[in-house]
Amino acid sequence: MRKKRTDLKIPYGIMDFRRLRREGYYYVDKTEYLAQMEARDSFIFFVRPRRFGKSLFIAMMESYYDLNQKKDFKKLFGDLWIGKHPMENANRFMTLKLDFSKVGGTGRELQESFEKHIASMLEEFLFRYSEHYDDAFKTAFPGKTAEEKIAAVTARSRTIGIPLYLIIDEYDNFTNQMIRASGVTDYREITHGAGFYRNWFKKFKGEFDRTFMTGVSPVTLDDLTSGFNIATNLSMDPDFNAALGFSEAEVLQMYRDFKGTGVYKSDNPEEVVNSIKPWYGGYCFAKKKVGVECVLDPLSVLYYLESLVFYDMRPRNMIDPNTRLPFDRFRSRKGKIGYEMELAAQNLSISHQRNEFLREQYFKNWKVISELDSAAQSFAYEGKWREFFELVSKNFAETTPIRGGIDGEVRMQGYFQCEMGHLPQFITCAELEMSHGNCDFFLFPERHYYGDVPHSYIVEFKYLKKGAKKAELEAQRKEGVAQLKTYAKDRKIPALAKDTTLHLILVQYRGPKMANCELVGEKQY
């Protein structure tokens, strides 16, 4: 029986599938992917970003395959896809889950932590399935090593005819931490040759009837390939693009279902979804799905929904604090931030976090940031573009080291990517494809929070090395003017610049200093 809409509960942060289903939390049905996985292979490898729903998916898998949960099948799955299309493997397995995020340490301590976790999970496994093991087995079990416990459990499984399902969560958690902390030397010692992690995967190989393994990166698996080369990697398979996270259709249905709950009465769900896509969308894990199926960050979608349901308004900060990325790692690992400038952000949430981090590296003086924020207000609301770019130029020159000219253009691009992308009043599109080229920046209002911003901008930056002659500067100027006038003819502009005055701005640099800043044209839309 379908619950009343007022009974719906937002599953923000809920990773316990049984609790979610029993306590009436809203659930986006992902159970059909179980059937698709079974049709592919018995050994599956699948990676996704952090906080993307992996733990909940695993918990759902455990409830579905665990023979101890057979009595709860109808309650947990009856109204879901898999409940209406049951498979022969439902509640057929003894499941062993390993979570390597709980493993840590260095050197010998790391191996001991790893094996201690496996031994602990096997003891918990024996407790759950104790009725299938005799007293002699249970008495001898505690005294065995982790390796001996694995061998004993798998051997007994074959004897009693009950298959085993191995689920490994965060398989690369401690290896990624190891790379960040000490580089690749220690990492290679455990994943290559006779490394203990590599050897453990050899033990897993062939001992379990089915295996599902997940994490955030395929890097570690690539180094373990010869140790565990039987898994099918579905991470970039188009059929599994939206297996985790929420598709646009799923988000729209969710917001429709919650409309009318709590105090959520105002915003139209279709308009809401269109407004949050630039912030929380942009994920696509399969080449064939590019431009076809966008996946949204599930935690951020639920964060936004909570604000609608409890306050009937958008959150004051579009970035969920629980999804903030640890960009400080770039500082400790690289010493400089040039590499990060080459990374493309999936959406505005990540872009703003990245630009905030970069901004802190350029500006150690908060007075400078305050001045820039004030200039940004005038840039957005009063169209004072010259004052804004002169201040930005002044600060760029002051933050550029004496030898900055060696990589001056790259530094300038990174600097302006940071400063343009940090403007909260605008959605900033860098390298936007337009008529016969890609403009450096297109800035149009972020209409939901700053719908009264009356200006939009196309900005083209040009750079020459210090000491370039006036003739070179003029030739470059003519090129930039022509590009801007061509961009202005693009068919996307009327929609993007609607209800604003569009300014075409050319900015030229000679070394670290601005040599020219001019208005090439403007038009009211």
8-state DSSP, 504: E
How much of the chain exceeds pLDDT 90, in percent? Answer: 50
Looking up tokens 């579009």 gives: 318
- Using 50, 70 and 90 to split pLDDT, how confident is the model at 478? very high
Mean of pLDDT values over 411-420: 76
Q: What is the biggest distance separating any 2 CA atoms in the chain, rounded to whole angstroms? A: 92
Chain centre to alpha carbon of residue 474: 44
- Using 50, 70 and 90 to split pLDDT, how confident is the model at 279? confident
Determine which of 117-131, 406-420, 484-498 has the lowest per-residue pLDDT on average.
406-420
- Determine the pLDDT at residue 359: 61
- Determine the pLDDT at residue 340: 39
What are the pLDDT digits (tens) for 115-154?
Answer: 899 999 999 999 999 999 999 999 999 999 999 999 999 9
How much of the chain exceeds pLDDT 70, in percent? Answer: 83
The total number of residues written for the chain in this structure: 525
Ranked by mean pLDDT, which of 277-281, 334-338, 501-505 comes out on top? Answer: 501-505
- Using 50, 70 and 90 to split pLDDT, how confident is the model at 288? very high
Chain centre to alpha carbon of residue 486: 35
CB 58 within 8 A of CB 86: no
Q: Which residues contact 511 (CB under 8 A, 6 or more apart)?
A: 405, 408, 464, 465, 466, 467
Mean of pLDDT values over 391-402: 75
Mean of pLDDT values over 200-227: 77
- Determine the pLDDT at residue 132: 94
Domain boundaries, the chain: 5-235, 246-321, 325-524
Among residues 129, 31, 18, 19, which one has the least CA distance to residue 89? 31
Higher-scoring residue by pLDDT: 389, 335: 389
What are the pLDDT digits (tens) for 4-30?
Answer: 455 689 999 999 999 999 999 999 999
Mean of pLDDT values over 167-183: 73
- Determine the pLDDT at residue 320: 85
Per CATH, the number for 5-235 is 3.40.50
Mean of pLDDT values over 224-236: 71
Residue 2 scores a pLDDT above 70:
no
Q: CA 501 → CA 136, 156, 229, 486, 504, distances in Å?
A: 82, 75, 59, 17, 10
Determine which of 60-64, 176-180, 462-466, 475-479 has the lowest per-residue pLDDT on average.
176-180
- Using 50, 70 and 90 to split pLDDT, how confident is the model at 105? confident
What are the pLDDT digits (tens) for 237-276?
Answer: 999 999 999 999 999 999 999 998 888 887 789 988 988 8
- ∠ CA(422), CA(425), CA(428), 5° rounding? 55
- Determine the pLDDT at residue 462: 92
- Determine the pLDDT at residue 225: 56
CB 409 within 8 A of CB 464: no
Higher-scoring residue by pLDDT: 470, 226: 470
- Determine the pLDDT at residue 192: 65
Determine which of 177-181, 287-291, 496-500 has the lowest per-residue pLDDT on average.
177-181
Ranked by mean pLDDT, which of 50-54, 56-60, 464-468 comes out on top? Answer: 56-60
- Determine the pLDDT at residue 17: 97
